[in-house]
Amino acid sequence: MTRLYMSRFREEVDKLLWMNHRFCGEPAFELHTRASLLPCRLSDFYGARFVYQGGVVSETGAFLAGLSRHDTDETLSYTVRSAYAADSTETLPACIFGGVLIGLFGHTITETLSRLWFLGTEKDLPDVPICFVATGKVPKHFMALMRLLGIEERVLVVDRPTRFERVFIPGQSLFLHAWVNRPYFRRIYERILECVAKEPRESRKSYTKLYLTRTHLEKSDCAGEATFEAIYAQNGYTVLALEEYALSDQIALLAKAEAIATTVGTLSHMAILFCRDDAKLTFLLRENEPEALIPQFVLNEMKDCEVSFVDATYNFLPTTHAGGVFLLSANEHFAAYARDNGLTYDADKACADLHKHIADYLHAYAVTYGRFGYAVKRLWDLSFFDFLSRFVSVVCGVTLDRADCISEERATLEEKAALLDELLGHPQILPVDSMTHCSKSKNARVFVIRQEGDFLAVGEERLPLASAIEAICREHPKFPRSARALLPFIYAGLFFDQYPYFALADLLVLDNEGSRVAFDPRRYLECAASNLDAVCFRVSFTPTLEKQYCAHHGKASWECLTRAVASDPFVHAVARYAGYSLKYLFARHFLIVRPKLFLPFFSWYRSRMDRILAELGNFAYLISPMTERLTTLYLYAHSLRSHVIGYCT
């Protein structure tokens, strides 16, 4: 059971909380011959994000495995999803790919271990070494974890390109920002707990209630946490700094506690991984970004504990999750949590302490962001208005509107809006259910290209997926084979003239596995008889189309996309005035489209795809998210002229 004590972003957090964060089914355990392991190296393609190249590559140089943190094309820091060209200096018999070793303990204890679910099963090969690749220095606790898993003697961290005659690749049992495969991921930590329980430690202590603090860290980043230390100590909790104990002792302390309270981050990850199944957990939010909670929501699927999330933040300056500075406060959310859980404290004293801690917060903020490093790079695009709006939001609970505060910009926005209205008219983009059906032919002809497992169904014909991919790659040698979501769309555009019924169809249905939602196929004929020209899935978000893309995939590839769009004066003009500022995109490409719209669009798209693939190089896998943005911009621009676009969510 999960309880939320918060008001800001409550609706957003609720949606994230109730998403399905579990994955079912056995992870893959693949064998590849003559594959190589490449140490990770930093890519300079993503600006402030730490994105790496390396992992496992085939004999031909194709990328096989690394680290994915999301089950989409979303690019996050510490992702390893592409390779680089390198010659192996030696060839060894065999290895099992253990995963990517991230030099931060919070990631090591979760993501780095996620491929080790096979240990102790029939898939394990006890005589075969387990090899990792690292993104930096090996954390000091890594080998201690390997000892607790019983594989210390088998582990090797590959520090140079190395070829193996056979490489076994276990699938990830955790995508930290998407889902967890509970039985397989949990197996790893049960193995660790069993080892810790067997250790003879007569002096090992145990406590019923624990508050895990960050105040003893070398870089103390939570001003105001001393207030919570005092409150929890007053209510019978033992305050501990876990890092001051041996790793096995840390795990033993967590495994025996009935109640644990701490801030969201590495400590909350540790708590859920090693606590009892009936433990009562309290996690205090350090920051105001809802999406930062997704990893904790995913890990919480490990256990059926009672968990309370308490918004205890008072960050009136913008910060970042990694390398940031935080101000904690026993605010009204914590007061409600305390009442529900029988905690007592002096609210007046807590308020007085907050005023004292503000000075510490400002000093730490100046020291942290006064260094031009990773932390400040994450804030580089914030204007003074952004600082002011966040300050007012936290301190006064008021949301500022940029247009109301900056008259010059408001006038510019109004001028642009008037220009669009005068020259182009209003976009005809409406929900599918609100469309007006007209008296077009009821005997509509629908041509379907659908991805069905390992086959591509093209009308009545079923092609093996591998054959469809090979056909596409003959036309486009640089087309990334991993972009499976694009297959129906690309195949339709390249080979439509080989299917005579295609040109005669009233409606084309492009159905990839990623677009399977509740859309009844019987509605295809209904759409064919309407005034719709296309139906897509629309996904809304808070930032603009430009900011949303840059945040997930990097600014450099966004500039590659805009250069491709700029070659069309009409779409380029609409994109500059309004398209890049859209707060939605049409995801998963087309669902339904009329040939009269699809054929000119595909011709337009293909010329831009050729240019983009030539520029992307090793980052060709980004063609899928780029296609979504290109589709969105094209449809938005042409809906201003004549086309009617329907969407479902």
What are the pLDDT digits (tens) for 205-226?
888 999 999 888 877 788 888 8
Residues in the chain with pLDDT < 70? 44-49, 73-75, 202-203, 322, 370-384, 386, 390, 393-397, 402-426, 434-443, 503, 513-522, 589-590, 618-619, 641
Distance (Å, whole) CA 96 – CA 177: 25
Report if residue 531 sits inside a domain. yes
Distance (Å, whole) CA 271 – CA 509: 48
- 340 and 256 in a common domain: yes
Closest CA to 125 of 151, 158, 91, 92: 151
Q: How many residues does the chain have?
A: 649
- 103 and 56 in a common domain: yes
Count of the separate structural domains present in the chain:
3
State how far the alpha carbon of 128 is from the alpha carbons of 32, 94, 113, 125, in Å.
14, 6, 17, 6
- 205 and 168 in a common domain: no
State how far the alpha carbon of 536 is from the alpha carbons of 134, 517, 593, 631, in Å.
41, 11, 9, 10
Distance (Å, whole) CA 500 – CA 593: 17
423 C-beta neighbours (distance < 10 Å), count: 11
154 C-beta neighbours (distance < 10 Å), count: 20
User: What domain range includes position 505?
Assistant: 429-648
Distance (Å, whole) CA 216 – CA 528: 66
- Please report the pLDDT score of residue 439 as a whole number: 41
Report if residue 445 sits inside a domain. yes
Report if residue 195 sits inside a domain. no
- Please report the pLDDT score of residue 99 as a whole number: 92
* CA-based max dimension of the chain: 84
- State phi, psi for 115 to the nearest 5 degrees: -90, 0
SS3 417: helix
- 164 and 206 in a common domain: no
Out of 312, 343, 377, pick the residue that ends a domain: 377
**pTM of the predicted protein model:** 0.63
Which tokens is 418 given? 């008037």
- 86 and 46 in a common domain: yes
- 576 and 438 in a common domain: yes
Distance (Å, whole) CA 494 – CA 488: 10
Distance (Å, whole) CA 586 – CA 605: 15
- 107 and 245 in a common domain: no
Report if residue 607 sits inside a domain. yes
Helix axes 182-198, 142-149, angle to 10 degrees: 90
What DSSP line would sit under 611-646, residue for residue?
HHHHHHGGGGGGHHHHHHHHHHHHHHHHHTTT--EE
Which tokens is 307 given? 């968990």
How far, in whole angstroms, is CA 109 from its chain's centroid?
Answer: 18
CATH (domain of 266): 3.40.50
- 457 and 565 in a common domain: yes
- 352 and 259 in a common domain: yes
Report if residue 353 sits inside a domain. yes
Report if residue 215 sits inside a domain. yes
Report if residue 177 sits inside a domain. no
How far, in whole angstroms, is CA 304 from its chain's centroid?
Answer: 24
Report if residue 400 sits inside a domain. no
- Please report the pLDDT score of residue 518 as a whole number: 46
- 142 and 206 in a common domain: no
Out of 360, 377, 394, pick the residue that ends a domain: 377
- 55 and 168 in a common domain: yes
- 142 and 48 in a common domain: yes
- Please report the pLDDT score of residue 137 as a whole number: 83
